[in-house]
Structure 1
Amino acid sequence: MNQWLHSWRAAIRIARRDAWRSKGRSFLVLAMIALPILGVSAFDLTLRSSELSAEQRTERAIGAADARFRDAHVSGVPVYQDPAGEQTTPVKDYDNEPWPDGPTDVRKSIPAGSTVLTDSSGNAKLTTAHGLLLTEVRELKAADPVARGIMRIQEGRFPEKSDEIAATTHFLESSGLRVGSAVTARGFDRPYLITGSYELPNELKMDQVNALPGAFLAPYGKAVEKAGIQAPGVSTSYLVQKPGGFTWNAVQEINAKGVVVVSRAVALDPPADAEVPLFQKDGWGNYDTSMAANAAALAAVGTVVGLAMLEICLLAGPAFAVGARRSRRQLGLVGANGGARSHIRAIVLSGGLVIGVAAAVVGTVLALILTFALRPVLEDAMGQRFGGFTIRPLELLGIAGLAVLTGLLAAIVPAVTASRQTVLASLTGRRGVRRGSRVLPLVGLGAVLLGAAIALYGSVVSDQFVIVAGGSAIAELGVVAMTPALVGLFGRTGRWLPLSPRLALRDAVRNRGRTAPAVAAVLAAVAGTVAVATYTASKDAQGRAEYEARLPYGVVAALVTEEGGRDAAAVREAVERTFPVDVRADVSRIAVGKPGCEPWGGGKGCGRFEVIVPRANECPLWASSPDGSDPSEKFTKEQRRELSTKDWRCTASTGNGVYVEGGLLIADAPVLKILGIDDPGAAKALAEGKIVNFLKTQVDRKTGTVGIKLITDTEAADAAAQKNQPVPGEVKTFPAYQVPGSPLSYGVQSVLSPAAAKAAGLTTVPMGAYFSTDRLPDGEQRQKLDGEIAKLGSNVELTLEEGYVSKTSLVLLALTVFAGLVTIGAAGIATGLAQADAEADLKTLAAVGAPPRVRRTLSGFQCGVVAAMGVVLGSAAGVLPAIGLRLTEEREQLRFYQENLDNGWASSDTPPYVPIVVPWETLAALLVAVPLGAALLAAVVTRSRGALARRAAH
């Protein structure tokens, strides 16, 4: 045992000395191993530090209170909830009954003698240095000890008077205000003084202001309602503190009153799933990550780590091999003095051990320093404060162990090779002749055939992506195993090449121990890049074919639906000032109830309208039935397929477009021109007071009219709709002009002129405008418009139709650059090692009269040869998985399309288009530009003349 320890100690000392002597090579290998360790360790530290304990989560949610009570909005009926208070549902099932949707007086469920704080939230548009900013207003006495921990004061103090507020630091940054500034809200002139800044630990990017209870939301709501604007909705919960807290049994008792409770005691000591009634109810459950999902995640992580280690070993292994050859005389002396082969293997393996340990220490220490130093930046990027700087020593040791393992794995093959050399060959510097392995290529060929068969099965028979990916990975590993034999095949082309490339190719073939790993590393990177690039280009081609424009090319829609279109005129002017507008068409919408109501009603005094579809025009597959049953069940599979693809009532469509309530625009003839409707009859009909219709299912074929129903009582309408009864409301009828054919109107189903709407007694409010442009606005013009709209503070739905915009060009460029960098890096490493390994040959060339440029061209061709072989093999290996995945997707989409046909949901009898597209530009860049660039770069950085050296004595 002692002898074994002494021999390894001596081996480690020798390896440490050799690593220090060859600083350049050692630093290269150390950096390759340490960088992944740095990244993984930093990720682990960040992840663990961002995880909050149950106590920390509870403190940020309810402060120092024992519980938060909130209304479940189910009219006070008993509810079930999960322990966290995030999921809730009534105890009773309401499948065939109206859903309970009413408020509950939460205060009646709070135990007597409790300390209670009211916590209310709403929204308001606050004045800023730049204009208006939609901000959450939270009324909570934040300075109270019960609320401690919810908000963290950063500067100044929390409000103490009704005319004071505090603001989050993010709001102050966004608004350009500071502590001491005054703030007002739109439609509410009362000023508020900012007395302090605070942050929400879980939401650092939240724009929020804090006021005392009753100081802002109630008077603001009254002011805006008086101005004809719908008041914002306010949600209220209660922070409750009570001796003894609230156990799970107490929470369930309160649930019986229709109230949801977030309890500190339950959060710190949650009940078992069997004790939670919600999880026992059909359709509900504890949706924590399943074992299968965990296994899949671990498999994915293991695959990525394994591939990264393989890549490092492929690149670092030749460096150890060259180091062993340069130290062969020293290793020969070890053998000459009685050292066994195991001692030589130990010396070379110790090199990997020394560099692995150094990489582990450097990577871990740098990760600790960087994560600690960048903690504020990481917290801002994640949007929440860490619970603390958490270090898991065992996890960091495990990650560091990967570095040591990688170093040892990279040194195994060089160690075995060095130990097989005879003492005489080591002392004389002769390399000897050793035939390549005949078993490894056969194993690789078998893996290629097996992987291809698995991938083919996954793409043609099975629908599992993992089978295709697994088979492709096996095939790629088989190609890696065949790399030495394939390098030998490439060498046979040298007879037709000039001197320098022939010498480079011969050197690569003779020294497959350092050439094959570099080629394999390039192969792996390029194969992955080609696979992703092919798959991405194919998806892009499919997306282009399936793209539906929302508007005609170059058309802009700027729509405002809040506050009764108060800012519509200002938005129209802003678009005209900043964009190259050709034609402008102002549009309005029908308002039912108060002018400030939002579309589709909602709120007191607000209604909505519906464009009536006559009963005879309803699609039989979708028509409502009196008993509430599915109407499509009355038809056979063939009938459903025929109706969904042939019947005009089911296939009528105006295309995908900007959302407009009811598909109805109140506008004049210019909107027809902007939408591309070239029909003189439509403009004439609009001028005559008719409603121009693009969706013929809305036109009553008997009377030739379109009906618009005005619904003032939305609650009664919803109740009638649930019971499949006619919805009550006043109907306005207009003579219709049906545009011939099936014109593409981009979601607009009908257009009515403002004059006709006024004559019919309809109330309309401005909504914005549609614009056609002379040319697409550039980036600067878009930024100017965004700034103008931000100053208004309006919620504007701005749509600019640019046609199909491919998002894959940047992805393909990034992949090409990544593969190019890996290729150049691996080829450069191989070239540097080749120069160090073949210095004697270069001196021999110089001695026999070779010109100085031969050294430079030889270096360039050595780099180019490695890059070219890796790129060619990688490109061939990378296409297979992409094709397999696309074939699997095609089968899946065809099956889904067939199911839609059978169920009557398909709107076309055209099967899905799933193309396979090879990105020739990316392949050309990899096959031509990358090897050529690598060769030129190597030639440029190589010196023409080497250093003179005296002849070695033997």
Structure 2
Amino acid sequence: MRTWYTSWRAAIRIARRDAWRSKGRSFLVLAMIALPIVGVSAADLTLRSAELSTGQSVARSLGRADARLSDPGMGGAPVLQSPDGSSYAPAEDYEDKPFPDGSIDLTTVLPAGATTLTDRSSQAKLRTTHGLLSTEIRELKAADPMVAGMMPLVGGRFPQKADEVAATTHFLEESGLAIGSSLTARGLERTYTIVGSYELPEALDTDQVNALPGALIDPLDKALVADGMPGLSSDTTLLAAVSGGFTWNTVQELNAKGAVVASRAVALDPPADSEVPLYQQDGWGNYEQSTAARAAALAAVGTVVGLAMLEICLLAGPAFAVGARRSRRQLGLVGANGGDRRHIRAIVLAGGLVIGVAAAVVGTVLGLALTFLLQPVLEDAMGKRFGHFDVRPLELLAIALLAVLTGLLAAIVPAVTSSRQSVLASLTGRRGVRRSSRVLPVIGLIAVALGAAIALYGSTMTEQFAVVAGGSALAELGVVALTPALVGLFGRLGRVLPLSPRLALRDAVRNRGRTAPAVAAVLAAVAGTVAVATYAASQDAQSRAEYVASLPHGAVSVTITEAGGREVPAVRETVQRLLPVDVRADVARIGVGRSTCSMWDEAADCGFYEVVVPKANECPLNAVDRARPDADPAERFTKEERRRLADDWRCEHKPGPYLMTDGGLLVGDEKLLTVLGIDDPKAAAALADGKPVAFDRRPVDTAGKLSIRLVTDRDAAEKAANAGKDAPGEIKTFDVYRAAEGTKSYGVDLLVPPAAAKAAGMATVPLGAYYSTDEMPSSEQRQKLDGVLDNTGSDVSLTVEEGFTSENSIVLLSLTVFAGLITIGAAGIATGLAQADAEADLKTLAAVGAPPRVRRTLSGFQCGVVALMGVVLGSAAGVLPAVGLRLTERRQQLSWHENALDQGWGVGGVPFVPVVVPWATLAALLIAVPAGAALLAALVTRSRGALARREAG
């Protein structure tokens, strides 16, 4: 008795033998299905291995300690916290009383018998072989067993003496130092020896140095304060271990004493949300990922997987179709010996099943092997170590079943088509008359129109990106449905082409069942690439327009604001000696009070100056209402008045850059105009005559004068400000030359020549210099300069203007290469299938006297035709979603801009959100990719085929 099992077993055996007999075609389809499985299985293994269990996460943050206590800075007032300690709030309401402030001694709140370790960290600049490197300093007794798991030792040992330190492997790589090297900190003469290296499993790219408690931070802080520099700020926590651990009740008891606790016991067994008092307060809650967010994430993953399966089916389907046609005599014999249509369908479907199973096994094994071998590379890329190599068989099995399902789906259409052929047609090799579907193009047109309408609605009427994306996807699927009809339209171009391309085009049109899926696959890949490239290029243009250059391209500035500028002359000469300087312009600042005051010194004998803005030139939105000093601009002006004032020149928002000096004022000569690229002979003449130049018209009154107030009494100035009055001080007045409106001055709003400052009796302090260069300083020159400037002991601010650097150039190049590979691959697959399918036609050409090169050129043009059709259609389909998304962003940013105007906030001009088509990427896709595909196909095709034998009569 014959059963379905018996028939399917026979079908699988036939399919297996056919796949083995046609190794090239089988390998091609297997590779197409297996490659995504390799990627998905490797991604699953990587994500699962990088996902830490609660115990692993606690071990990395607490080591073997039971808890970490921290001071929230509320002076011991009771607090409420989340179970993990990441969120906290005061337990009482301080709306009508002062908010608590201060610190507590964490050791006094611990339970009796607790063992503790102090973990203190700060940030400082350490000297390296290259110069200075900002590094985290951590004082923790790392050799203690309680720390095990937090800082795994890589080499050497942890410090045991006060003059020893250990460093992370990343710090050693960045600094050029090694175990055994000496280490010093800027501002501290004491030398330390590096005795070991370690890593932070959760942050492999951290620059950190470990020392014993009290060995580095306190000495460095004292040394910096003694030199008149800002001291170090540090963060201190307490690792604690106690018998029985820290339960949730214990954590709440410590919260009542003002401490925040991250507990191992609570992390492993967290309380219910109803037992967390913090979550019961208004505005607080356990903000875990919502069900809607999870559903959206699953939908996104499902969409990506679905599109990937669609593309594989589009490419693999024609391969099964060609295989079925090449086996039509065998299938005809099955029918002649009593097999019905379902048996023929089973044989073709079994081919998809056999190759799908093989692809699942190969892809899964390769994914496992690659992930295991590349584990160090993946960990470095993610910046953290795996918890363990986590293999989840059920997930890998589901991924493998995806390959099997893809193989079966790709074989469905060829199976149905083969089963409908008559036995006579199969045995004689006749294909019969094949008609194109008239319904599919209509459906495609409707989908394109509906999708475009939805995308247009989403970009003009809503601010929802999902609407635009959904409409664009529907339109793209409509173009895919239209592909067979569009391929037929391309065929009309054949009458004007030479022989080989005409034959290739006619063959593509005649065999749309093979051509259309390959063109659709190329279309899908190119459309995605063009969409992302268009969006990236548009964002790039927006970022370029919004970029604010500090200086002209290649220019350099150096400033020192501390110690009265005594190091400035030496620094000026150093920069000029080590960089390719063309013009140097020295600049100074106005000094008030003691000559050794730094710019930010607030000592009583260190005054300051103010650039006086005439009342008529003050922006009403920013002006203080002395009758109501706390009144908000939204309360003082109507919406229409606020919008009108936003266009007033007095309220114009300048995007920068901004100088550190008040009013953007510098003391300098006409050389600074040359460095800044300001071509204004009248301004240069004014500076040479001792007359200040104003690039901002707000400080200049109607008489063309500028006023500067010198304030020597800081206390009196503060009292006047609190009373809404001007600060008391002597006012210096100058006649100024106002530069042309719109002159780009790179943050320099006022330029006062030294002669004018001296004539007015104002003291000046050297600030630095500006330089124009003959060429852009190289990396080696800058590194050498940084190393020399480190030796000055001053805080030197060095700026080298490199211009706007596009972050999307690599992305665009990668997308172009990716789309090119997909296009060439899809076109190559279609060409290989065409050659297998049209072998009889090629032999006929040879028999009628066609030269051998016709075979090679025909193959090349077949590949190029498929690639060109797919690229043209994909480029047209890909621009739509990018344009829609950019229009949506434009509406969104305009809405934000108008809302800011309504609120009276200081904002810039109308947002610039351009839509830019990446013509270079499109040209590479439209010209280089089809030409490359055709050339590659021609090169790998043999000029002569196998001789045809006459079939037995």
TM-score after normalising by structure 2: 0.90
State the alpha-carbon separation in 1 of the partners of residues 689 and 93 from structure 2.
53
Question: Residue 166 of structure 1 contacts residue 210 of structure 1 at CA under 8 Å; is this kept in 2?
Answer: yes
| Alpha-carbon spacing, 1:113–1:571, altered in 2? closer, same or farther (3 Å) | farther
Select between 12-21 and 868-877 the one with higher mean Cα deviation. Answer: 868-877
The aligned amino acid for 1:164 is E
Question: Residue 691 of structure 1 contacts residue 735 of structure 1 at CA under 8 Å; is this kept in 2?
Answer: no
The aligned runs of 1:206-221 (5 Å cut-off) are 206-221=206-221
Question: Residue 121 of structure 1 contacts residue 136 of structure 1 at CA under 8 Å; is this kept in 2?
Answer: yes
| Alpha-carbon spacing, 1:266–1:709, altered in 2? closer, same or farther (3 Å) | farther
| Alpha-carbon spacing, 1:618–1:280, altered in 2? closer, same or farther (3 Å) | farther
The aligned runs of 1:760-771 (5 Å cut-off) are 768-771=768-771
The aligned amino acid for 2:652 is T
Q: In the alignment, what sits opposite 2:927?
A: 928
The aligned amino acid for 1:271 is P
1:909-941 per-position Cα deviation (integer Å, ceiling 9, x unaligned): x64444433333433333333323322322232
State the alpha-carbon separation in 1 of the partners of residues 596 and 264 from structure 2.
42
Q: In the alignment, what sits opposite 2:651?
A: 650
The aligned amino acid for 1:152 is P
Give the Å deviation of 1:946: 0.8
The aligned runs of 1:73-92 (5 Å cut-off) are 73-91=73-91
State the alpha-carbon separation in 1 of the partners of residues 906 and 130 from structure 2.
49
Question: Residue 79 of structure 2 contacts residue 91 of structure 2 at CA under 8 Å; is this kept in 1?
Answer: yes
Give the Å deviation of 1:520: 0.8
State the alpha-carbon separation in 2 of the partners of residues 526 and 324 from structure 1.
29
Q: In the alignment, what sits opposite 1:945?
A: 944
Question: Residue 487 of structure 1 contacts residue 512 of structure 1 at CA under 8 Å; is this kept in 2?
Answer: yes
The aligned amino acid for 1:929 is A
1:50-103 per-position Cα deviation (integer Å, ceiling 9, x unaligned): 111222222222222222222222344443333222233444566798765543
State the alpha-carbon separation in 2 of the partners of residues 609 and 272 from structure 1.
58
Aligned residues: 946
The aligned runs of 1:42-61 (5 Å cut-off) are 42-61=42-61
The aligned amino acid for 1:10 is A
**Structure 1 residue 24 corresponds to structure 2 residue 32:** no
State the alpha-carbon separation in 1 of the partners of residues 565 and 296 from structure 2.
51
| Alpha-carbon spacing, 1:851–1:229, altered in 2? closer, same or farther (3 Å) | same
| Alpha-carbon spacing, 1:663–1:31, altered in 2? closer, same or farther (3 Å) | farther
Q: In the alignment, what sits opposite 2:392?
A: 392
The aligned runs of 1:52-451 (5 Å cut-off) are 52-91=52-91, 102-451=102-451
Q: In the alignment, what sits opposite 2:660?
A: 660
Question: Residue 131 of structure 2 contacts residue 786 of structure 2 at CA under 8 Å; is this kept in 1?
Answer: no
1:317-351 per-position Cα deviation (integer Å, ceiling 9, x unaligned): 11111111111111112212221211111111111
| Alpha-carbon spacing, 1:262–1:134, altered in 2? closer, same or farther (3 Å) | same
Question: Residue 590 of structure 2 contacts residue 609 of structure 2 at CA under 8 Å; is this kept in 1?
Answer: no
**Structure 1 residue 675 corresponds to structure 2 residue 676:** yes
The aligned amino acid for 1:296 is A
Question: Residue 70 of structure 1 contacts residue 106 of structure 1 at CA under 8 Å; is this kept in 2?
Answer: yes
SS of match in other structure, 1:188: coil
* Counterpart selection for 2:642 from 640, 648, 651: 640
The aligned amino acid for 1:484 is P
The aligned runs of 1:886-905 (5 Å cut-off) are 886-905=886-905
1:367-411 per-position Cα deviation (integer Å, ceiling 9, x unaligned): 111212222222222222211111122221122221111111111
SS of match in other structure, 1:190: coil
State the alpha-carbon separation in 2 of the partners of residues 888 and 132 from structure 1.
46
Question: Residue 609 of structure 2 contacts residue 708 of structure 2 at CA under 8 Å; is this kept in 1?
Answer: no
| Alpha-carbon spacing, 1:138–1:736, altered in 2? closer, same or farther (3 Å) | farther
The aligned amino acid for 2:929 is V
Give the Å deviation of 1:517: 0.6
RMSD of aligned alpha carbons: 3.7
Select between 805-814 and 559-568 the one with higher mean Cα deviation. Answer: 559-568
1:18-66 per-position Cα deviation (integer Å, ceiling 9, x unaligned): 1112111111111111111111111111111111122222222222222
| Alpha-carbon spacing, 1:413–1:220, altered in 2? closer, same or farther (3 Å) | same
Q: In the alignment, what sits opposite 1:628?
A: 630
State the alpha-carbon separation in 2 of the partners of residues 96 and 751 from structure 1.
49
| Alpha-carbon spacing, 1:665–1:704, altered in 2? closer, same or farther (3 Å) | closer
| Alpha-carbon spacing, 1:885–1:170, altered in 2? closer, same or farther (3 Å) | closer
State the alpha-carbon separation in 2 of the partners of residues 217 and 728 from structure 1.
43
SS of match in other structure, 1:261: strand
Question: Residue 707 of structure 2 contacts residue 732 of structure 2 at CA under 8 Å; is this kept in 1?
Answer: yes
SS of match in other structure, 1:34: helix
| Alpha-carbon spacing, 1:99–1:800, altered in 2? closer, same or farther (3 Å) | farther
State the alpha-carbon separation in 1 of the partners of residues 208 and 605 from structure 2.
28
Give the Å deviation of 1:315: 1.0
1:84-140 per-position Cα deviation (integer Å, ceiling 9, x unaligned): 222334445667987655433333333343212111112333333334333222111
| Alpha-carbon spacing, 1:711–1:175, altered in 2? closer, same or farther (3 Å) | farther
SS of match in other structure, 1:126: strand
SS of match in other structure, 1:850: coil
Q: In the alignment, what sits opposite 2:475?
A: 475
| Alpha-carbon spacing, 1:237–1:566, altered in 2? closer, same or farther (3 Å) | farther
Select between 206-215 and 556-565 the one with higher mean Cα deviation. Answer: 556-565
Question: Residue 130 of structure 2 contacts residue 783 of structure 2 at CA under 8 Å; is this kept in 1?
Answer: no
Give the Å deviation of 1:173: 2.5
State the alpha-carbon separation in 2 of the partners of residues 865 and 707 from structure 1.
76
Question: Residue 228 of structure 1 contacts residue 596 of structure 1 at CA under 8 Å; is this kept in 2?
Answer: no
Give the Å deviation of 1:865: 1.9
Give the Å deviation of 1:363: 1.4
State the alpha-carbon separation in 2 of the partners of residues 443 and 666 from structure 1.
69
Question: Residue 130 of structure 1 contacts residue 791 of structure 1 at CA under 8 Å; is this kept in 2?
Answer: no
Which consecutive residues of structure 2, in runs of 5 or more, have no partner in the other structure?
none
The aligned amino acid for 2:302 is G
| Alpha-carbon spacing, 1:193–1:260, altered in 2? closer, same or farther (3 Å) | same
Q: In the alignment, what sits opposite 2:738?
A: 740
Question: Residue 607 of structure 1 contacts residue 713 of structure 1 at CA under 8 Å; is this kept in 2?
Answer: no
**Structure 1 residue 867 corresponds to structure 2 residue 870:** no
SS of match in other structure, 2:198: strand
The aligned amino acid for 2:640 is E
Give the Å deviation of 1:863: 1.5
State the alpha-carbon separation in 2 of the partners of residues 119 and 594 from structure 1.
42
Question: Residue 80 of structure 1 contacts residue 278 of structure 1 at CA under 8 Å; is this kept in 2?
Answer: yes
State the alpha-carbon separation in 1 of the partners of residues 713 and 250 from structure 2.
44
SS of match in other structure, 1:294: helix
State the alpha-carbon separation in 2 of the partners of residues 163 and 240 from structure 1.
26
The aligned amino acid for 2:946 is A
SS of match in other structure, 1:433: coil
1:260-298 per-position Cα deviation (integer Å, ceiling 9, x unaligned): 222222222223334434444455444433333333322
The aligned amino acid for 1:476 is E
1:557-616 per-position Cα deviation (integer Å, ceiling 9, x unaligned): 2445689889866764554344332222344668999999997579x9999967466693
The aligned runs of 1:486-885 (5 Å cut-off) are 486-559=486-559, 572-573=572-573, 575-587=575-587, 611=610, 616=615, 618-624=618-624, 626=628, 628-646=630-648, 648-651=649-652, 653=654, 655-657=655-657, 659-664=659-664, 667-669=667-669, 670-676=671-677, 694-697=695-698, 704-707=706-709, 733-736=731-734, 738-740=736-738, 742=741, 743-751=743-751, 768-777=768-777, 797-885=797-885
SS of match in other structure, 1:189: coil
TM-score after normalising by structure 1: 0.90
Select between 183-192 and 89-98 the one with higher mean Cα deviation. Answer: 89-98
The aligned amino acid for 1:639 is E
1:203-256 per-position Cα deviation (integer Å, ceiling 9, x unaligned): 222222222111222222222322333322222221122223333343334334
The aligned amino acid for 1:651 is E
Give the Å deviation of 1:766: 6.1
State the alpha-carbon separation in 1 of the partners of residues 342 and 11 from structure 2.
11
